[in-house]
Amino acid sequence: MHVPVTVTDYSLSSFYKGVYAVVDDSSLDAVVSWSKNKKSFIIWDPIEFQRRVLPTGRERRIRSLNFSMFMADLKYYGFIRVKGSKHRYHIGHPKYFVRGNPELMKKMQEEAHEKRMHKFDQDRAMRKKAKARALELADTLGDLGL
């Protein structure tokens, strides 16, 4: 019999803790459960998942308002859909989401944060270049009297 693991790392986002707790909760196995390799999970019943896991109220473990938002949140936090799976909602992480090893999610959190910051820096650089081109074009048009 599997004994659920409690995630007590206070530096870990509550989203990661909530996802791990929900997937590790054997009372929800008909709705969401670990995959056979224990390195990902499958949401078997999205409607029941929304009804039982994402309800409003203070006891929510995951703070997504609905299933679509939950799927977007998974992506934001570094989870990915398992490619080649026959299951539509087969979600995991290549290295850091493993049953019995919740401490690995700390690395997952750091990796996701680094990717978001890198994208932010790239976007900022693109906006800066676009602004410079727009100012250059405005100067050119001004010189032409347009």
129 located within any domain: yes
Angle between helices 105-143 and 14-24 (to 10 degrees): 130
pLDDT digits (tens, 9 = 90+) for 48-90: 999 999 975 555 678 888 999 999 999 999 999 999 999 999 9
Report the CATH number that the domain containing residue 116 is assigned in CATH.
Answer: 1.10.10.10
pLDDT digits (tens, 9 = 90+) for 15-31: 999 999 999 999 999 99
117 vs 120: CA distance, rounded Å: 5
Q: What is the pTM of this model?
A: 0.74
127 located within any domain: yes
13 closest CA partner among 76, 69, 58? 76
Domain count, the chain: 1
79 vs 71: CA distance, rounded Å: 9
70 located within any domain: yes
Confidence at residue 136, expressed as pLDDT on a 0 to 100 scale: 84
79 located within any domain: yes
CA within 13 Å, CB half, 97: 31
Domain that holds residue 58: 14-143
Confidence at residue 59, expressed as pLDDT on a 0 to 100 scale: 57
Q: Supply φ then ψ for residue 26, to 5 degrees.
A: -65, -20
The mean pLDDT value of the chain amounts to 87
9 located within any domain: no
